[in-house]
Amino acid sequence: MNTYYKTGLKIGLISYRSNPHCGGQGVYVRHLSHGLSDLGHRVEVIAGPPDPQVNGKEILTMLETLDLYNPDSLFRTPSINELKDPINLLEWLDVSLMGYPEPMTFGMRAKRYLKGKESHFDIIHDNQSLSYALLSLQKRLPVTATIHHPMTVDRRLAIQSTRSFLKKIKAMRWYSFIGMQKQVARRLKTIITVSESSKKDVAKEFKIPESKFKTIPIGIDTENFYPLDHVRKIPGRIIVTNSADTPLKGLYHLLSALENILKKGKASLTIIGTPKKNGGIEKLVKNLDLGNYIEFTGRIDHTRFVREYAKACIAVVPSLYEGFGLPVGEAMACRIPVIATTGGALPEVAGDAAKLVPPGDALALEKAIIELLEDPVQREMLAQKGYDRVMSEFTWEKTAIKTAEAYKEIIHDYH
């Protein structure tokens, strides 16, 4: 019998890959679970590696996996004993054939773990694995899932970004799990998403009625992202927080803009993270002769992250698409003026507190950056407006409250 009306909800939050330092999904799990626990709910996070580093009353259950995407032993060969497990064997064979089975196989592992434990939970909340196992679980207890954005967008951009036929085929094979995600999403009774833009795009791409969605914006971690007004800014310094070669993140366009900006004045770029060795970003930096004007920080802790923001005059978010756009909110929380594209949900996060340019337009980025670097009054105005917006609109407490309300409606409708 459900007891949430008196004692709080019993929530199972499952997430197949939840790095809290890299990617919105890991940030989501860590802070949502903490926010729900603070409201008095019992939360068990059921996760695969890496450790999501939950930090409160939450229960953390780490499921044993092959962890084939661990950068310290990428695509390792499993032992014979490991391959005796049918799920491990399926995962290894699919990876060997250039697929990405982890969302499906993690769902299988979560289902195995939850077998016989259904009474321990009022609801299961999936963090975008959208595995077939959810449909089996949904027969026994309420299930919902958060879809941050449709992976069909990533697939489309990955295919469009290369001329190589072989690379196009590889991208299609890698993203073959999308067929499963579409099927599962269509059969879930309720879906949570993080922005109106994402809701519309998922509904269109997955052919799901918008009436099945609940939009709950996520919060910004203002305990780790905050202003350091005493730190001296470096003139012309720009910061971007994604070093990925992924076309979706738009760094190629920012580097092209920087090349032209340097012909007209002084500028430098701090890129949080490390580029892929011999990857497209590293090659473009070399081809454009930008090495003396760019610093890749590598992995850094929050203390240095905030200091890097504080030293910058402008933060740029050049993504071609975002389901929400944490980098916009995090820069605003540090009281840094932001230039972002209109890709996906970025305008919803930015509101009127950032300069917006079309996605994939290096010339527009160049003009916006030059204008803002030359206008300290506008920079100060945007910095304050952005800070005020984050502090009033995007808190994890609000996200947790709205999510718990959604859970109660889903549970009520299920029973």
Domain boundaries of the chain, sorted by first residue: 4-219+395-414, 237-393
Other beta carbons less than 10 A from residue 334's beta carbon: 27
Q: Is 237-393 the same fold as 4-219+395-414? A: yes
Which residue is associated with the tokens 């990617």? 23
Q: What is the DSSP letter of 265?
A: S
Whole-angstrom Cα distance, residue 333 to residue 349?
12
Q: What is the pLDDT of residues 61-86, one digit of tens each?
A: 999 999 998 878 889 999 999 999 99
pLDDT at 51: 87
Secondary structure element (H or E) that encloses residue 126, with its range: strand 123-127
Whole-angstrom Cα distance, residue 112 to residue 122?
18
- Average per-residue pLDDT for the chain: 94
* Confidence bin at 19 (pLDDT 50/70/90): confident
Show the tokens assigned to 304: 């240095």
Whole-angstrom Cα distance, residue 137 to residue 126?
11
Secondary structure element (H or E) that encloses residue 192, with its range: strand 191-193
Give ∠ CA 312-314-318 in degrees, rounded to 5: 120
The architecture of the domain spanning 4-219+395-414 is 3-Layer(aba) Sandwich (3.40)
CATH number, domain 237-393: 3.40.50.2000
* Confidence bin at 196 (pLDDT 50/70/90): very high
Whole-angstrom Cα distance, residue 180 to residue 204?
16
Give ∠ CA 130-134-138 in degrees, rounded to 5: 140
Which residue is associated with the tokens 């971690």? 221
Which residue is associated with the tokens 């269509």? 186
In sequence order, the 6+-apart residues with CB closer than 8 A to the CB of 358 are 341, 342, 364
pLDDT at 5: 44
Which residue is associated with the tokens 């330092």? 21
Q: What is the pLDDT of residues 234-287, one digit of tens each?
A: 999 999 998 677 888 999 999 999 999 999 999 999 999 888 888 889 999 999
